[in-house]
Chains A and B, each alone.
Chain A
């Protein structure tokens, strides 16, 4: 059994190498994402955005008939690894995308890279893959992991907040988040508090926060943790005295729908905003609202943009997705003229986007809906801090 699989893999690899220059006549994309369990709402937003772009393109990316094979990692790195192998060996996908969480991404990445398959990130872009460990097969259509946090640090400095209180869950991405914030922030850090992952009650932390009385609180608490925290922060009456600042993925439409009014007045940083003024964005937002009867979140935009980037690159490479050189060059260069909802598309040497970061405020729009409104730009053409450690040119 074992020998057979190894032999089969070798055969596939050999076949792939032999026919690498040949253009595929259909595109098969492996979409590994978190689609069930408490954290599924993010994966589903990304999927909905991706599917929308595919639908608007008439079911063809880069002019090739496109099939997307979905697989649910259940936020379990082990399951993610098995499914990745299945997608590569059994389903023989040409390209992969979809992963939401960094712990899954880090676990499945060696398998994808060894299979010499391209991966276009619609979300997680860990520093371990964008810095020293950068790879020609990795390309990000979202943001480098620390981008939003660094932007938030700059924003807090520009607002003149003299002292900041930082809070994040006690796991690698939480520590990266605060590292990113501290790089951008010039004021005094009052305290750096790490909470339990999936913590329910924050009363103890809130009491200490009140006693410390900082100008601003920067909290990276994704998913349900953010909902718990924001509800309790506002109920404790702290929002009157302490300005809450969060990265965009803690406060977008998925959270707004669950929390509502108490979120008004909160600041967040994002690479995109639903009211960003460009043609491609208007098309995206209108189409998404028509299809799903809800305002898209930044996650939906990332899925949508990932599909646009794949579309442009496959077209430029004339379908040769297995020709490493041609497709890499297509991914690096072709999307440059691309019109995405974020505007003009630019890429750094490590495959991460060079983009603006905005600050948004949670407020009501003209129709009385609660949305994240763009109020300013914090970083222009920001390049990933870790790009300089990447040896690729």
Chain B
């Protein structure tokens, strides 16, 4: 494998990691701060992508549709929190899993009723549909560079929001000790609704940005949600920094595993064995990573609670 190809695969890993970060950031906030397992996070991602596709078709512009989709999904998220999820905070995790799993099923069928069961169209904005040439002669999809840019910007913004603002302080207070925060006079109900709406908006951003390279279809959220959970378990639940590091680790390990392992196996085993072994081993690599992290640091790499 040449150097250029190796660097391109590194870039791919970075890009896939930032893609996962967009989704994991919202999930880790909700999970860490509200101590709430929200399986329906993937449904908000799906709703965000569908709304984005609809707005993009209605307005004819990808960039005009983006803020609309974010705002609409944040509203959906806030409504969901006020009407259903708020009642689940005091329950145990099993009740939360059951209830939010029900929301997945309801959301899937609702989307099917509104948009139909066929996948719908959401394409990259004009001008970003083809590749660009990077230094070194690598042809790279321009839209993927945009994902890298947006993912990095969101990471930076969230970092500033959480560590440098008053809202961020409340969020950190809620995450590290909820009872104490309430005792100090924080309006935890409003804070939770706000955090949940922010999480939903991040979901919509993920759905909108990933829609042009992934299928926008019913059930699209479940597939990627598993990866998002792996990311936040590795990173440490509730920590934005952990989500970023976890997402990049998962992205790099998965991408490099898929590209390097088959080559490595081909050197060791017979071709027949190697072609069977390569894909099987590379597909479990991130779970091995998760198990290793859990073994060495059960709280994840950057635990939010001290």
Contacts of A254 in B (CB 8 A): 118-119
Which residues of B from 257 to 306 have beta carbons under 8 Å from A?
A: 258-259, 262, 275, 278-280, 282-283
Residues 213 to 272 of chain A near chain B (Cβ within 8 Å): 223-224, 227-228, 231-232, 234-237, 254-255, 257-262
* Residue interface bits B1-36, CB-to-A below 8 A is 1, else 0: 110010011001101100100000000000000000
Does B217 interact with chain A (Cβ within 8 Å)? yes
B121 touches A228 (CB 8 A): no
Say whether A232 contacts B139, CB under 8 Å.
no
User: Across the interface, do B12 and A38 meet the contact criterion of CB distance under 8 Å?
Assistant: no
- Among B121, B141, B142, B220, point to the contact of A257 (Cβ < 8 A): B121
**Complex interface residues of chain A between 142 and 158 (CB less than 8 A to chain B):** none
Given contacts A203-B15, A258-B121, contact A227 B215 (CB under 8 A): yes
Q: Which residues of B contact A203 (CB under 8 A)?
A: 12, 15-16, 141, 144, 255
In the complex, chain B residues 214-272 whose Cβ is within 8 Å of any chain A Cβ = 214-220, 222-224, 227, 255-256, 258-259, 262
- Contact between B12 and A204 (Cβ–Cβ < 8 Å)? yes
Which of A87-95, A189-197, A311-319, A339-347 is near enough to bind chain B? Answer: A189-197
By a CB distance below 8 angstroms, the chain A residues around B278 are: 194
Complex CA gap A200/B228 in Å reads: 13
Say if the beta carbon of A368 comes within 8 Å of chain B: no
In the complex where A37-B218, A224-B220 touch, is A260 in contact with B131 (Cβ < 8 A)?
A: no
A194-B279 in contact given A257-B118, A260-B121, A260-B123 (Cβ < 8 Å): yes
Q: Are B8 and A207 in contact, CB atoms less than 8 angstroms apart? A: yes
CA distance A193 to B283 in the complex (A): 13
The answer on a CB contact under 8 Å between B131 and A235 is yes
Q: Helix, strand, loop or mixed for chain A's interface?
A: helix
| A211:B224 contact, CB within 8 angstroms | no
Residue of B118, B130, B139, B256 near A210 (CB, 8 A) is: B139
The count of A-to-B residue pairs whose CB atoms sit within 8 angstroms is 132
Whether B283 and A196, one on each chain, are in contact in the complex, defined by CB atoms closer than 8 angstroms, is: yes
Is A205 part of the binding interface, using a Cβ–Cβ cutoff of 8 Å?
yes
Q: Are A204 and B259 in contact (CB under 8 A)?
A: yes
CA distance A258 to B118 in the complex (A): 8
Does residue B124 face the partner (Cβ distance < 8 Å to A)? yes
Residues of A with C-beta under 8 A to B109: 36
Tell me if A258 and B279 are in contact (CB < 8 A): no
Let me know if A204 and B258 touch, CB within 8 A.
Answer: yes
Contact of B67 with A by CB under 8 A: no
Cβ-based interface call for B165 (8 A): no
Q: Which residue of A lies closest to B284 (CB)?
A: A196
Enumerate B176-216 residues with CB–CB distance to A below 8 Å: 212-216
Chain A 34-63 interface 0/1 with B at a Cβ cutoff of 8 Å (1 = within): 001110110010000000000000000000
Contact B108–A36 (Cβ < 8 Å): yes
Report if A258-B259 is in contact (Cβ < 8 Å); known contacts: A201-B19, A203-B12, A210-B139. Answer: no
**In the complex, what's the smallest C-beta–C-beta distance from B281 to chain A, in angstroms?**
11
A208 at the interface (CB under 8 A from B): yes
The answer to whether B213 and A232 touch across the interface, beta carbons within 8 angstroms, is yes
| Pairwise interchain contact A235-B143, C-beta atoms closer than 8 A | yes
A194-B279, A196-B279, A211-B2 in contact; A234/B129 too (CB < 8 A)? yes
* Most chain A beta carbons < 10 A, residue from B16, B118, B227, B259: B118
| Docked pose: A200 CA to B280 CA in angstroms | 16
Closest to A35 in B: B117
> In whole Å, how far is B276's beta carbon from the nearest beta carbon of chain A?
8
B44 to chain A, nearest CB (A): 17
Asked if A198 CB lies within 8 Å of chain B CBs, one says yes
A204 to chain B, nearest CB (A): 4
Indicate if A170 sits at the interface (CB-CB under 8 A).
yes
Given contacts A228-B213, A237-B131, contact A38 B218 (CB under 8 A): yes
Give, as a whole number of angstroms, the nearest-CB distance from A287 to chain B: 19
Give the Cβ gap from B217 to chain A, nearest Cβ, in Å: 6
Known: A211-B5, A236-B141. A228 touches B214 (CB 8 A): yes
B5–A227 touching, CB < 8 Å: no
B120 at the interface (CB under 8 A from A): yes
Known: A196-B279, A201-B16, A207-B5. A227 touches B223 (CB 8 A): no
List which A330-368 residues lie within 8 A (CB) of chain B.
none
Distance (whole angstroms) from the CB of B46 to the closest CB of chain A: 10
A224 vs B49: C-alpha distance in the bound complex, in angstroms? 15
A265 to chain B, nearest CB (A): 14
Which residues of chain B have C-beta atoms less than 8 A from A235's C-beta? Answer: 124, 129-131, 141-144, 212-213
In the docked arrangement, what's the CA distance between A78 and B121, Å?
Answer: 33
Q: Which residue of B lies closest to A233 (CB)?
A: B141
**Bound state CA distance, A40 and B213, in angstroms?**
21
Tell me whether A170 and B280 are in contact in the complex, defined as CB-CB below 8 angstroms, given that A235-B213, A237-B130, A237-B139 are known contacts: yes
Chain B residues with Cβ below 8 Å from A40 are 112, 117, 218
Closest B residue to A210 by CB, please name it: B139
0/1 per residue, B118-150, Cβ < 8 Å to A? 111101100001110000000111111000000
On whether A41 and B131 interact (CB within 8 A), knowing A198-B223, A204-B255, A227-B214, the answer reads: no
Q: Which A residues are closer than 8 A to B by beta carbons?
A: 36-38, 40-41, 44, 170, 192-196, 198, 200-201, 203-205, 207-208, 210-211, 223-224, 227-228, 231-232, 234-237, 254-255, 257-262
11 A-B pairs, CB-CB below 8 angstroms? A36-B109, A170-B280, A192-B275, A196-B282, A201-B12, A210-B139, A224-B215, A231-B123, A237-B130, A254-B119, A261-B123
Q: Apart from A36-B108, A203-B16, A232-B141, list 10 A-B contacts with CB within 8 A.
A: A38-B220, A44-B118, A170-B279, A203-B144, A207-B5, A207-B259, A211-B1, A224-B214, A228-B214, A231-B214
List the 10 closest A-B pairs by CB distance, nearest first: A38-B219, A237-B131, A227-B215, A258-B119, A203-B12, A224-B215, A235-B141, A194-B279, A170-B279, A204-B259
